[in-house]
Amino acid sequence: MSLKLMVTGCNGQLGRALYELTKDDTGFEYVGSDVPELDITDCEALVSYVKELKPDVIINCAAATNVDGCEKDEDLAFKINALGPRNLAVAANEVDAKLIHISTDYVFPGDGNVPRTENDPVGPKSAYGRTKLAGEEFVKLFAKKWFIVRTAWLYGEGKNFVRTMLKLSETKDSISVVDDQLGNPTSALELGRAILKLAPTQLYGIYHGTCEGVCSWADLTEEIFKMKGIATKVVRISSEEYKKNYPDSADRPSYSALEKRMFKLNLDHRFKDWKDALKEYLLG
Ligand SMILES: NC(=O)c1ccc[n+]([C@@H]2O[C@H](COP(=O)([O-])OP(=O)(O)OC[C@H]3O[C@@H](n4cnc5c(N)ncnc54)[C@H](OP(=O)(O)O)[C@@H]3O)[C@@H](O)[C@H]2O)c1
């Protein structure tokens, strides 16, 4: 019997990756929804949708992901990133479904130089991080069967850093890229594969889901250009220099690598190295 997945935010990067991974006969039935047909902030509509669909697992890929946008309108971000998951937890309980909620490295303060484990103290520094943390708290409080999967630096089918750099390279001989923020670039497909391993289990809890290996945005850009044979030069700049040009941008974590202890210990699952996953994304 196949497992019925209800995927919210299905038009986003992770939602599309999950569709790709389940569209053939994989033992999963994928039912996607996104705004406007299903708005996760509308609790009543959501509960009746879930009661009708009766999914086995709800995967919440819906979110307000524009970090600077969240800073400008934190109330709206809270509605989507915190109250949305609260509503999904309530709805999941109605049909005894599991809830897999996707969260972020931004729940951490982003300092230090050691990868954060799932149980390390949180301390968000941005509106995006605060609202996503509130979402995690609601899920823990209200859902009966929950997984929280924190990811970072995601790229897939949609708007993302990798695509932005490729686009810029079409018209520029050199690009200034921040070199003092470190993290784990993560392919949406690689994250999706891990989530699908988690879905049939009862191994509830908080998971970190990112590719292996740490680099800076400048390192990532150089690797993209190297793999694609692009001659555009990468000029390494500090966050301070970047902020001079974009004073309204939200502060980003300087170190946001995540340790994937729960995936290793519970499922013996290893994520691909970031360069291998990037190669799959860029070169197939
Ligand atoms: N992207 C990253 O680098 C990154 C990093 C860390 C964690 N994450 C987390 O990973 C998850 C997936 O991210 P992603 O990159 O796939 O996001 P994404 O591409 O921005 O997709 C999110 C989707 O959710 C939809 N959505 C927004 N508000 C909604 C609502 N009220 N009801 C239903 N759907 C709504 C969006 O529609 P609109 O486009 O119309 O708003 C969009 O289709 C999110 O939880 C995100 O916080 C992402």
Indicate whether 139 belongs to any domain: yes
Q: Which amino acid residue places its CA nearest to atom 15 of ligand 1? A: 13
- Name the one residue in this structure whose structure tokens are 């969260």: 103
For the chain, the domain total comes to: 1
Kindly tell me the burial class for residue 269, based on how many C-beta atoms sit within 10 Å of its own C-beta (0-12, 13-18, 19 or more): middle
Which of 65, 133, 211 for mutating ligand 1's site (highest number of atoms within 8 Å of CB)? Answer: 65
* DSSP symbols for 35-66: TTT--TT-HHHHHHHHHHH--SEEEE------
Indicate whether 221 belongs to any domain: no
Indicate whether 65 belongs to any domain: yes
Looking at the CA of residue 62, tell me the nearest atom of ligand 1: 24
Q: For the domain that residue 77 is a member of, what is the CATH number?
A: 3.40.50.720
Indicate whether 247 belongs to any domain: no
Indicate whether 232 belongs to any domain: no
Catalytic residue among 30, 49, 106, 128: 128
Per DSSP, 79 falls in state I
pLDDT per position in the chain (284 positions), as tens? Answer: 799 999 999 999 999 999 999 999 789 999 999 999 999 999 999 999 999 999 999 999 999 999 999 999 999 999 999 999 999 999 999 999 999 999 999 999 999 999 999 999 999 999 999 999 999 999 999 999 999 999 999 999 999 999 999 999 999 999 999 999 999 999 999 999 999 999 999 999 999 999 999 999 999 999 999 999 999 999 999 999 999 988 888 888 999 999 999 999 999 999 999 999 999 999 99
Cα separation values, 70 from 77, 105, 280, Å: 5, 15, 31
Indicate whether 94 belongs to any domain: yes
Q: Which amino acid residue places its CA nearest to atom 19 of ligand 1? A: 12
Indicate whether 75 belongs to any domain: yes
Q: Residue 9 sits in which domain range?
A: 3-160+184-213+256-272
Whether the Cβ atoms of residue 10 and residue 33 lie closer than 8 Å to each other:
yes
Indicate whether 277 belongs to any domain: no
